[in-house]
Amino acid sequence: MKKDTILLDHGSGGKMSHLLITDLVLPIFDNPILSPLHDGAVLDIDGKRLAFSTDTFVVDPIFFPGGSIGDLASIASEKAGVKVVTGDTKVVPKGAVDKIFVNTSGIGKIPVGVDISSRNARPGDKIILSGTIGDHGVAVLTQREGMTFDAPVKSDTAPLSRMVERMVSVCSDIHVLRDPTRGGVGTALNEIAGKSGIGIKIYEEKIPLKDAVAGICELLGFDPIYIANEGKLIAFVDPRYAEKVLAAIKEDEFGKDACIIGEVMSDHPGRVIMETRIGGIRIVDMLTGEQLPRIC
Amino acid sequence: MKKDTILLDHGSGGKMSHLLITDLVLPIFDNPILSPLHDGAVLDIDGKRLAFSTDTFVVDPIFFPGGSIGDLASIASEKAGVKVVTGDTKVVPKGAVDKIFVNTSGIGKIPVGVDISSRNARPGDKIILSGTIGDHGVAVLTQREGMTFDAPVKSDTAPLSRMVERMVSVCSDIHVLRDPTRGGVGTALNEIAGKSGIGIKIYEEKIPLKDAVAGICELLGFDPIYIANEGKLIAFVDPRYAEKVLAAIKEDEFGKDACIIGEVMSDHPGRVIMETRIGGIRIVDMLTGEQLPRIC
């Protein structure tokens, strides 16, 4: 295996993806705006703050239970309250691309007083998860592999812009917001622990998980904590506002199953620790290797 | 041939590409910001105007004489004076993509007083072309097909941001700016004629064309007016400022061969007419069919 070969693992969202970015891409651009490695850039345009983000979608199959590549890419812009303002299409010969890939870029104004970043988690923060985990990855996998179940798992694909508006309206001081997509909740929490230099403790019994997803994961040997989600978010909030923000999320149509799954500790910086259902302690590392390729 | 099948022709930048956008994509989004069908969107952010544009690159081969897919995609951002502020990578299995595709999106502030649009061409405007045509398409084609020539044609890939800055600094009232990429100069001029509702007259003998490009086009039966360019622009300028803008372009390292190739007429709206070298008149229609696939 040559060192200069791109492997599927480089697309996992886990350790290899991070090495690709930090070792290969970042040194080339050497740009302080890139260094926070947040989901999007924050730009100052004549004193106004603008967020700018981009994402590419290569999911296979392009139609899956509960959604399609177009839903993931927010082509369902009407539902999200987002306007499509410009675009490009390219066509390549048969065989040069697997059906269709979609790339989206978005810009938005950042409200005054809002400062959300993966670097802003603080000891004591409560960690809120907006719903059940693993639905998307399991839906895509079972569809791709042609597995059929009595109660098929549907993807959780959903626009979260209105949920975030609700959250910010009750608490402008949300510390961290992340979508646990590639690499799942486990990888997202590790990134935040690393960037904020804090420790994270979560409770297995508090993490919402559908029985069907749990069952399929057990059957196939997957750990749901690393399975991709599409319509979920993780929020880190000062304990004084946690219940208020949780209530705001639960009011949203996509946040009914939201709950507090853990908190930030000042010890064990960079580590994510899970108290298991039987009371044990397990270290949740960043995803290593490719669990489920092409889920978004 | 099914009506709902995407053909290479849909990626030509010519008639079929336009039908794909106007008949399939635009009705879905139904958004006035999209309706000018300019290269980018113009957004109002609290009274400041922002331009937002996106482009995908699928060129084959990814390395060609004079450049690479990375140059096209402005990964050569340093040369262009552009900062890369955010990004995303995805990995798919071998065979699911032909090596690498690159997507870029850019935002920029529009200076006060500048109003450039393909709808703004006016009778009397002089049409400036910043250099020789067809270099990029011919470079990619000859590389892809393994043709060798004594004097290989190099792509004209180049960043044009500084050239445009020079132009705007001597004349803020430039009416139209276009990059004649897919579909070449012929298709770009037809788009402008249609959107501005004016006629265009160009002079074959004034269009800069390298002997090597002319020779290869003749050999292979291509019309250079439809061959893609990468480091060229077309500007429509009020005749009073045309010489000044032309001089500004010629001062730029990528504009040495610039010249005035024609003018806007009030008759023949929507048409592009070329006076040929031997004094005849030829109608230059939009490109129909795919001349050279995957040149960007």
Give the start-to-end residue ranges of the domains of chain B.
8-109, 126-283
Would you state the structure tokens that stand for residue B217, as one six-digit string? 């086009």
CB contact under 8 A, A46 and B89: no
Any idea which fold A1-296 has? Phosphoribosyl-aminoimidazole Synthetase; Chain A, domain 2 (3.90.650)
> Which of 183-212 (A) contact B at CB < 8 A?
none
Residue B59 CA: distances (Å) to CA of B71, B178, B228, B295: 11, 20, 12, 5
pLDDT score for B277: 93
Residue A222 CA: distances (Å) to CA of A110, A143, A214, A216: 37, 16, 9, 8
pLDDT one-digit tens code per residue, A11-34: 887 788 888 888 888 888 777 788
CB contact under 8 A, A48 and B45: yes
CB contact under 8 A, A54 and B87: yes
pLDDT score for A153: 92
Residue recorded with tokens 């409770």: A203
Domain B126-283 has CATH 3.90.650.10: yes
Q: How confident is the model at residue B74 (pLDDT cuts 50, 70, 90)?
A: low
Distance between CA atoms of residues B229 and B16, nearest Å:
19
> What is the DSSP secondary-structure string of A212-256?
HHHHHHHHHT--GGGS--SS--EEEE-TTTHHHHHHHHHHSTT-T
pLDDT one-digit tens code per residue, A58-112: 999 999 998 899 887 657 677 788 888 888 899 998 899 999 999 999 999 998 8
Distance between CA atoms of residues A199 and A275, nearest Å:
13
Residue recorded with tokens 């048409």: B271
Helix (H, G, I), strand (E, B) or coil at A105: strand
B269 vs A: CB within 8 A: no
A2 vs B: CB within 8 A: no
Q: Which of B12, B7, B103, B10 is nearest to B58 (CA)?
A: B103
Q: Is the pLDDT of residue B75 over 80?
A: no
pLDDT one-digit tens code per residue, B271-296: 999 999 999 999 999 887 766 778 88
A25 vs B: CB within 8 A: yes
pLDDT score for A261: 98
Among A67-76, B22-31, B91-100, B228-237, the minimum mean pLDDT is found in A67-76
Percent of chain B past pLDDT 70, that is, above it, reads 97
CA end-to-end distance (rounded Å), chain A? 26
CB contact under 8 A, B34 and A91: no
Whole-complex ipTM? 0.86
Max intra-chain CA distance, chain B: 57
Is pLDDT larger for residue B150 or for residue A279? A279
Question: What is the mean pLDDT of the segment spanning A233-258?
Answer: 98
Name every chain A residue with its beta carbon within 8 A of the beta carbon of B8. 91-93
Q: Which of B127, B107, B259, B122 is nearest to B201 (CA)?
A: B127
Q: Which residue of B has its CA nearest to A57?
A: B90
Residue type at position B174: I
Name every chain A residue with its beta carbon within 8 A of the beta carbon of B47. none
Pick from B40, B87, B294: which is nearest to A92 by CB?
A: B294
Shortest Cα distance, chain B CAs vs residue A237, angstroms: 25
Shortest Cα distance, chain B CAs vs residue A48, angstroms: 9
A69 phi, psi to nearest 5 deg: -60, -30
pLDDT score for A76: 67
pLDDT one-digit tens code per residue, B165-220: 999 999 999 999 999 998 999 999 999 999 999 999 999 999 999 999 999 999 98
Residue A182 CA: distances (Å) to CA of A7, A75, B108, B144, B279: 15, 20, 30, 36, 63
B294 phi, psi to nearest 5 deg: 55, 50
CB contact under 8 A, A31 and B86: no
Residue recorded with tokens 């309206």: A169
Would you state the structure tokens that stand for residue A189, as one six-digit string? 């929490």
Q: Domain B8-109: give its CATH architecture.
A: 2-Layer Sandwich (3.30)
Q: How confident is the model at residue B121 (pLDDT cuts 50, 70, 90)?
A: very high
pLDDT score for A278: 94
CB count in 10 Å sphere of residue B125: 26
Strands of the A259-265 sheet, one edge to the other: A176-178, A234-237, A126-129, A259-265, A199-203, A272-275, A281-283
Question: What is the mean pLDDT of the segment spanning B20-24?
Answer: 86
Question: What is the mean pLDDT of the segment spanning B153-174?
Answer: 94
Shortest Cα distance, chain B CAs vs residue A58, angstroms: 7
Distance between CA atoms of residues B204 and B275, nearest Å:
6
pLDDT score for B2: 56
